């Protein structure tokens, strides 16, 4: 009897890793009803990381009233298990929460992420795991810090908005009101990109355009973040060059600088918690993947991490993805046995969550059926 381990990442705004694993399991059973499936969904740093980790840890979801990136009230979620709280920054200030017509990178901030952290502290968190990915913001984490008590002031010592537009008037940063409970909180920022805060490889240049920034905006955003780091002293400047400081529009920098956090690989963290290592021996194959895959992208990180885990027991790793870009073949040098494009079924119009799940299910079924 065949046994498949299902360890996908997320499919962007359509499927979380947990949902993708469910679609894969359905596809396997469509083609081989007697096959065994073991679901070990694996996220990276983006939306769905908290749900994936919560599933592995047995954490309970708690709804939290927060504000999205443009200030609209929304309901965020934290996941609580003992003294550990897991959350996605994107559950408050994610790009997918803001309708395209309302997206405004200069008028967005990460205040909602700070509200989630405050809720975690209220819940008694001693350890916080925060996923940094897929946010709509490029504020250097200023909004998050404001929600936690930091004041951002202009030349008259009046508060400024923590959006990039507001930070154009920034003259000083007052950290005296930072929530004292943070001193006893262990913070792990989950990030699978190594972008610094500033410069040609920094957050404004690399992710700003995806959030609606024009070339002129990118230059302005980088200038504003350079000044923000300088106003935070030697530590702020030195940490701006750290790998991952540019994650989530600079949330990584703010967490490293003010919350004494440390960076963790999302793939490694979830693999560690998911039970993947225990599920691998004797498996027929591991099925993984994500929406857009390349050796340097988040889905590439997921596939490479799964392939590394499967290397010692010598279990073949098959990657299902959306379009297969030219550089995805490099994954074959990272232990991946096969790349499979997730083609839309003839009766589906691509784009919705249901469509993506149906496409993935059909692609897995076709692959399993061809190998029976």
* pLDDT number for residue 331: 67
pTM exceeding 0.75? yes
Between CA 192 and CA 203, with CA 197 as vertex, the angle to 5 degrees is 65
pLDDT, block means (10 residues), the chain with 372 residues: 92 81 97 96 69 81 97 96 93 93 96 98 96 94 99 98 98 98 96 91 95 96 98 97 96 97 86 89 93 52 85 89 69 79 56 79 96 84
Q: In whole angstroms, how far apart are CA 199 and each of 142, 230, 247, 254, 342? A: 19, 14, 14, 17, 36
* pLDDT number for residue 275: 87
- Does domain 3-40+276-370 correspond to CATH entry 3.40.50.2300? no
- Of 87, 88, 177, the closest CA to residue 127 belongs to 87
DSSP code of residue 291: S
* pLDDT number for residue 305: 85
Domain ranges of the chain: 3-40+276-370, 49-264
Contacts of 354 (CB under 8 A, 6+ apart): none
Count of beta carbons in the 10 Å neighbourhood of residue 92: 32
* pLDDT number for residue 53: 82
Q: In whole angstroms, how far apart are CA 329 and each of 115, 243, 303, 304? A: 41, 26, 12, 12
| The CATH classification of domain 49-264, taken from the options 3.55.40.20, 3.90.1510.10, 3.40.50.2300, 3.40.30.10 | 3.90.1510.10
49-264 matches 3-40+276-370 in CATH topology: no
* pLDDT number for residue 217: 97
* pLDDT number for residue 354: 72
* pLDDT number for residue 346: 46
* pLDDT number for residue 141: 98
* pLDDT number for residue 115: 99
Contacts of 83 (CB under 8 A, 6+ apart): 124, 125, 126, 127
For 352, half-sphere exposure in the C-beta direction (CA atoms, 13 angstrom radius) is 5
* pLDDT number for residue 90: 94
């Amino acid at each position: 009897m065949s046994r498949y381990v299902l360890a996908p990442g997320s499919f962007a705004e359509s499927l979380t890793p947990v949902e993708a694993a469910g679609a894969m399991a359905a596809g396997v059973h469509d083609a081989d009803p007697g096959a065994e499936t073991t679901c070990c969904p694996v996220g990276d740093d983006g939306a769905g990381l908290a749900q994936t980790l919560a599933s592995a840890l047995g954490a309970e979801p708690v709804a939290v009233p927060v504000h999205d990136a443009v200030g609209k009230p929304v309901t965020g979620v934290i996941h609580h298990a003992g003294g550990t709280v897991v959350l996605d920054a994107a559950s408050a200030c994610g790009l997918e929460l803001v309708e395209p017509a309302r997206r405004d990178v200069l008028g967005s901030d990460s205040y909602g992420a700070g509200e989630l952290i405050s809720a975690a502290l209220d819940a008694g968190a001693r350890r916080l795991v925060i996923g940094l990915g897929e946010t709509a913001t490029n504020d250097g984490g200023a909004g998050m810090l404001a929600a936690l008590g930091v004041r951002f002031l202009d030349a008259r010592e009046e508060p400024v908005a923590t959006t990039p537009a507001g930070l154009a008037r920034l003259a000083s940063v007052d950290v005296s009101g930072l929530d004292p409970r943070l001193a006893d909180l262990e913070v792990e920022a989950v990030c699978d990109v190594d972008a610094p805060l500033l410069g040609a490889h920094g957050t404004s240049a690399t992710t700003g355009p995806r959030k609606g920034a024009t070339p002129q905006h990118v230059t302005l955003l980088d200038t504003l973040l350079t000044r923000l780091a300088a106003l935070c002293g030697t530590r702020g400047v030195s940490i701006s060059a750290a790998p991952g400081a540019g994650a989530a529009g600079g949330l990584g920098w703010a967490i490293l600088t003010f919350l004494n956090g440390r960076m963790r690989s999302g793939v490694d963290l979830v693999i560690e918690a998911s039970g993947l290592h225990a599920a691998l021996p004797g498996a027929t194959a591991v099925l993984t993947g994500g929406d857009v895959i390349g050796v340097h992208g988040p889905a590439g990180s997921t596939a490479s991490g799964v392939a590394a885990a499967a290397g010692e027991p010598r279990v073949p790793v098959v990657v299902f993805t959306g379009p297969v870009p030219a550089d995805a073949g490099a994954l074959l040098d990272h232990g991946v046995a096969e790349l499979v494009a997730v083609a839309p079924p003839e009766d589906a119009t691509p784009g919705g969550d249901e469509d993506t799940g149906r496409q993935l299910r059909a692609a897995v079924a076709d692959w399993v059926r061809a190998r029976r």
